Structure 1
Amino acid sequence: MATRVLSSPNLLKKLRSFIRPLNSAASSAAAAVSPLNFDEKSEYSTVEKHHPPPPTTTPLDFDDYQKLFASVSTLKLLRSSVNLGLASNDTFVDFGTWVMNSRLIETPLVRDIILKTVKHTFFEHFCAGETAAEAAKCLRKIQEAGLRGMLAYAVEHTTDNAGCDRNFDGFLQSIEFARSLPPSSVSSVVAKITAICPLGLLRRISDLLRWQYKDPSFSLPWKLYTLPIFTDSSALYHTLQKPDPLTPQEESDLQLAHQRLLKLCQKCVQYNVPLIIDAEDTSIQPAIDYFTYSSAIMYNKDDPIIYGTIQAYLKDTRERLFNAVKTAQSLEIPMGFKLVRGAYMSSETKLASSLGFDSPIHNGIRDTHACFNDCASFMLEKVADGYGGLVLATHNLESGQLAAWKARDVGIEKGNKKLEFAQLYGMSEALSFGLRNAGFQVSKYLPYGPVDMVMPYLLRRAEENRGLLSTSSLDRSLMGKELKRRLKSLQFGKPAAAGGMKIEVGTP
């Protein structure tokens, strides 16, 4: 087997700047210098263009709420306002989370009532449906609104090979499903390594990879070529003692898991459908990066097909992203990344504290925002130079505005297929439509599957994104204004397709 490909962990110490940061009116004084402020100028700086002063206007227009929500029905606006209001209520979220984690859910009658209630509220708002047919219907609706879909068959952690095989079949069907739809409607298919490789094995692989980073002489005979996974500031405290080698059974299971992923990659290459690998917590993320990068080395040829996910709330994110991209470029491998903020803040901090280590998460939300914007700027410059691919998955209004300006600044043309903005289905509608109206490609993350199977996803949205959901006030405010406008101009619409009359309020 091949050995690892690693760039020097001290590489960044030679650099004066990591990237040119995104323009921001709030940080214009610092816009000319790097947030990392190294001693020497980077020999790897990406785009040497004149940096204009921070813009005083934005390419995204949120003032014309009639135009923003022109493609959204009045009923959809009403339901969205109600659901977002409930989701931003801490008391309601706490109660719902308690019910779902309590023994009440084990009572058949109570479980049935709860699942039906969830299905007709949060599930319908945040998910694309229970079946592929329902997801296709949802896709058609968002395509009519000028958006695209990221298909996510919503299976989570698995503990055995039988479950992995079932999940693999589901992911494979998702890729086949994407192929059957209009090419412009699906931007990518999403998969979770935790669903096709037993969770315990992912922990073992992560431990072994961490130990090899600490001790490069530590041999991993099963290891394939990969990109850099760690830096000296990465969360290595998960592995405090030298782990035992994989057993023959574990090596066999690893091979099976890798074969599942490679088959998914082969189908995506065959159908030219990008495959995005979702991220998880730091205890198992090294193994996920290993699977992602080793597969990308095999299948990313002219354009990125396999995308990894980078979480900006981790302190080592900038350096890990830089190292991975630099090494991939040296190997002439076009890497694609989905950039997110992250969704395991509470659990990561608690675990690190219990082991006596500092949290791997940035100390404040401002640091996380700065990291996201820095990484976005770095990758936007790469895309402008014709390298790699980028999915900017953000619900943060300022990050969306800054990235839109950065894309224009570095000359990324409208419709560039290597740049996609993305938001979760049912969230940040104003940002999605604003980016769409500005000419960018915008996707919605569309989880689908039976309600009980999608519950972990919904609980994570509630528990891990309280702050995010509470910032939905912009959406609710703009939706409220548009609803008032439509009520003032109440009118009858055209007959519905089924033959009955429907009332549309204020259709433009």
Structure 2
Amino acid sequence: MATRVLSSPKLLKNLRSFIKPLNSAASSSVAVVSPLNFDHKPDLSGVEKQHPTTTTTPLDFDDHQKLFASVSTLKLLRSSANLGLASNETFVDFGMWVMNSRLVETPLLRDAILKTVKQTFFEHFCADETPAEAAECLREIQEAGLRGMLVYAVEHTSDNAGCDRNLEGFLQSVEFAKSLPPSSVSSVVAKITAICPLGLLRRISDLLRWQYKDPSFSLPWKLNTLPIFTDSSALYHTLLKPDPLTPQEESNLHLAHQRLLQLCQKCAHYDVPLIIDAEDTSIQPAIDYFTYSSAIMYNKHDPIIYGTIQAYLKDARERLFNAAKTAESLGIPMGFKLVRGAYMSSETKLASSLGFDSPVHNGIQHTHACFNDCASFMLDKVADGYGGLVLATHNLESGQLAASKARDVGIQKGNKKLEFAQLYGMSEALSYGLRNAGFQVSKYLPYGPVDMVMPYLLRRAEENRGLLSSSSLDRLLMGKELKRRLKRLQFAKSGMTAPASGMKIETGAP
């Protein structure tokens, strides 16, 4: 098929014309794009307001009793203990060293290590090993007023046989999601590295990067897609002109594309949104290509296929704006999941080894500003009835800003086009605070055998260093709630007169 990129050359030049005047801090690395303004109060004529416009946040983190009313005392104890371990850098460093060492190659030691991991971090961050076991986890979070993003946690496959097996796992996830109550599962999540060999993704990314450098470079296999790069995108991975795909590589590419389309078709048939996770920049162009080309085929009336934007990348704003505006101009309701990012250390090391600046923002405040700007842009789009947005954040300020913005632009409670999300086992206070404010909130629920989920757990351990603020708040509030419940229990045992409302030993109720 002839190469055709669905993009407008005028989009980047016209960015200023559709971005509102701003006053929030922005990354200096993206000069062409002004940051969006969370304080901007749009004209809501014709838009039904769910709440009056004020400058106060709708989120309440002060009432720990209300926040954790749906959480059992046992769950609070275990969560508090696991978060305490995860926040101990010495413990995390030792655990990561063990999991990356040859100790795991010794059968007896491996069994002992995996058993320990399963009873600690795996139990805390994952929904168990099988769909049937994950169903119990989903039931618990649904009772707490939350939903689940179902994640069959496989990735980085090297051959077609492994890709075929992983596809079956993803298809079963969709079947599993459809068998559950409609309100319990918000989406299924997949990684392209699980259904397309990793080496082929690198080759495709190289070819896409070179074509962006040289538009005359022909890619006869390329399908219709949205813009993937901007002038600020990291292109240093491809310093030399790559060879064309071999016949075998083209055949493997076709097989990978057919796997994704089979998954998309099932999701569209069952009306279960599919979120494609982002990965590192060496292969992200190919992931975006797969995502956007399938979205063009299956996003007809509502977003079924969601791409992921990592806000810690310097080109994140421009890539989001270009893709969203192009999709909108073509009548394609594109969905996006917005995250901060998960590969900061490896990205910086690789860029440095090649003599280039890191593609990641130079400071955390630039990342925060980028996330907030992208969120504001997409919230305006959702309020106007376009696209879909999953705001995946553990940052309290970002959560508060987005909640206020959503309320101010008239996004009603229960709007299916907006979902907040946090990792299972993390940022419980933010999840429950958003839930109490009336927003749809999902927990990212990976499941699968412990050894298969290990790469995910190692990233959680590494990323937790940057999530200590939300983890600390959770532990503080959990500690206060546990003390409150202990005092009530002691009061009940003392034989003193109970209040008129009655006294009971709590298992989560206030």
**1:69-80 correspondence to structure 2 within 5 Å:** 69-80=68-79
TM-score (norm 1): 0.92
**1:217-228 correspondence to structure 2 within 5 Å:** 217-228=216-227
Q: 2:48: which partner in 1?
A: none
Q: 1:138 to 1:505 in 2, by over 3 A?
A: closer
**1:360-399 correspondence to structure 2 within 5 Å:** 360-399=359-398
TM-align CA RMSD: 2.6
Q: 1:30: which partner in 2?
A: 23
Q: Distance between the aligned counterparts of 1:282 and 1:103, measured in 2?
A: 29
Q: 1:499: which partner in 2?
A: none
Deviations 1:369-398 (A, max 9, x none): 000000000000000000000000000000
Cα pair 2:87 2:468 within 8 Å, conserved: yes
**Amino acid of the structure 2 residue aligned with 1:277:** I
**Amino acid of the structure 2 residue aligned with 1:241:** L
**Amino acid of the structure 2 residue aligned with 1:7:** S
Deviations 1:26-72 (A, max 9, x none): xxx92599997869999xxx995289x99553200111110100000
SS where residue 152 of structure 1 aligns? strand
Deviations 1:249-299 (A, max 9, x none): 000000000000000000000000000000000000000000000000000
Deviations 1:455-490 (A, max 9, x none): 110001112331114541000000000000000001
Deviations 1:314-364 (A, max 9, x none): 000100001001110111000000000000001101111111111100010
Q: 1:159 to 1:40 in 2, by over 3 A?
A: closer
Cα pair 1:279 1:288 within 8 Å, conserved: yes
Cα pair 1:20 1:31 within 8 Å, conserved: no
Structure 1 runs not aligned, ≥5 long: 22-28, 493-501
Q: 1:261 to 1:454 in 2, by over 3 A?
A: same
Deviations 1:184-228 (A, max 9, x none): 100000011000000000000000000000000100000000000
**1:190-201 correspondence to structure 2 within 5 Å:** 190-201=189-200
Q: 2:43: which partner in 1?
A: 49
Q: 1:185: which partner in 2?
A: 184
Cα pair 1:154 1:454 within 8 Å, conserved: yes
**Amino acid of the structure 2 residue aligned with 1:61:** D
Please report how far the alpha carbon of residue 4 of structure 1 lies from its aligned counterpart in structure 2 after TM superposition: 2.5
Q: 1:278: which partner in 2?
A: 277
Q: 1:7: which partner in 2?
A: 7
Cα pair 1:19 1:377 within 8 Å, conserved: no
Q: 1:94: which partner in 2?
A: 93
Q: Distance between the aligned counterparts of 1:41 and 1:131, measured in 2?
A: 43
Q: 2:500: which partner in 1?
A: none
Q: 1:174 to 1:366 in 2, by over 3 A?
A: same
Q: Distance between the aligned counterparts of 1:55 and 1:361, measured in 2?
A: 34
Pair 1:411 & 2:405 matched: no
Q: Distance between the aligned counterparts of 2:448 and 2:314, measured in 1?
A: 34
**1:3-402 correspondence to structure 2 within 5 Å:** 3-8=3-8, 11-16=11-16, 19-20=19-20, 30=23, 48-49=42-43, 57-402=56-401
Pair 1:424 & 2:423 matched: yes
Cα pair 1:20 1:33 within 8 Å, conserved: no
SS where residue 337 of structure 2 aligns? strand
Q: 1:495: which partner in 2?
A: none
**Amino acid of the structure 2 residue aligned with 1:49:** D
**Amino acid of the structure 1 residue aligned with 2:5:** V
**Amino acid of the structure 2 residue aligned with 1:175:** V
Q: 1:145 to 1:451 in 2, by over 3 A?
A: same
Structure 2 runs not aligned, ≥5 long: 46-51, 494-503
**Amino acid of the structure 1 residue aligned with 2:43:** K
**1:441-480 correspondence to structure 2 within 5 Å:** 441-469=440-468, 471-480=470-479
Q: 1:24: which partner in 2?
A: none
Q: Distance between the aligned counterparts of 1:447 and 1:342, measured in 2?
A: 17
Cα pair 2:27 2:366 within 8 Å, conserved: no
**Amino acid of the structure 2 residue aligned with 1:436:** R
Please report how far the alpha carbon of residue 417 of structure 1 lies from its aligned counterpart in structure 2 after TM superposition: 0.2
**Amino acid of the structure 2 residue aligned with 1:16:** R
Q: Distance between the aligned counterparts of 2:92 and 2:35, measured in 1?
A: 49
Q: 2:485: which partner in 1?
A: 486
Please report how far the alpha carbon of residue 127 of structure 1 lies from its aligned counterpart in structure 2 after TM superposition: 0.2
Q: Distance between the aligned counterparts of 1:17 and 1:54, measured in 2?
A: 26
Q: Distance between the aligned counterparts of 1:116 and 1:149, measured in 2?
A: 25
Higher relative contact order (CA 8 A, sep 6+): 2
Q: Distance between the aligned counterparts of 1:336 and 1:309, measured in 2?
A: 9
Cα pair 2:296 2:332 within 8 Å, conserved: yes
Q: Distance between the aligned counterparts of 2:487 and 2:163, measured in 1?
A: 54
Q: 1:40 to 1:69 in 2, by over 3 A?
A: closer
Mean Cα deviation higher: 104-113 or 430-439: 104-113
Q: 1:160 to 1:15 in 2, by over 3 A?
A: closer
Aligned-residue sequence identity (percent) comes to 86
Please report how far the alpha carbon of residue 434 of structure 1 lies from its aligned counterpart in structure 2 after TM superposition: 0.2
Please report how far the alpha carbon of residue 77 of structure 1 lies from its aligned counterpart in structure 2 after TM superposition: 0.4
Cα pair 1:225 1:294 within 8 Å, conserved: yes
Cα pair 2:26 2:366 within 8 Å, conserved: no
SS where residue 415 of structure 2 aligns? coil
Q: Distance between the aligned counterparts of 1:33 and 1:174, measured in 2?
A: 39
Q: 1:75 to 1:329 in 2, by over 3 A?
A: same
**Amino acid of the structure 1 residue aligned with 2:356:** F
SS where residue 230 of structure 1 aligns? coil
Cα pair 1:126 1:425 within 8 Å, conserved: yes
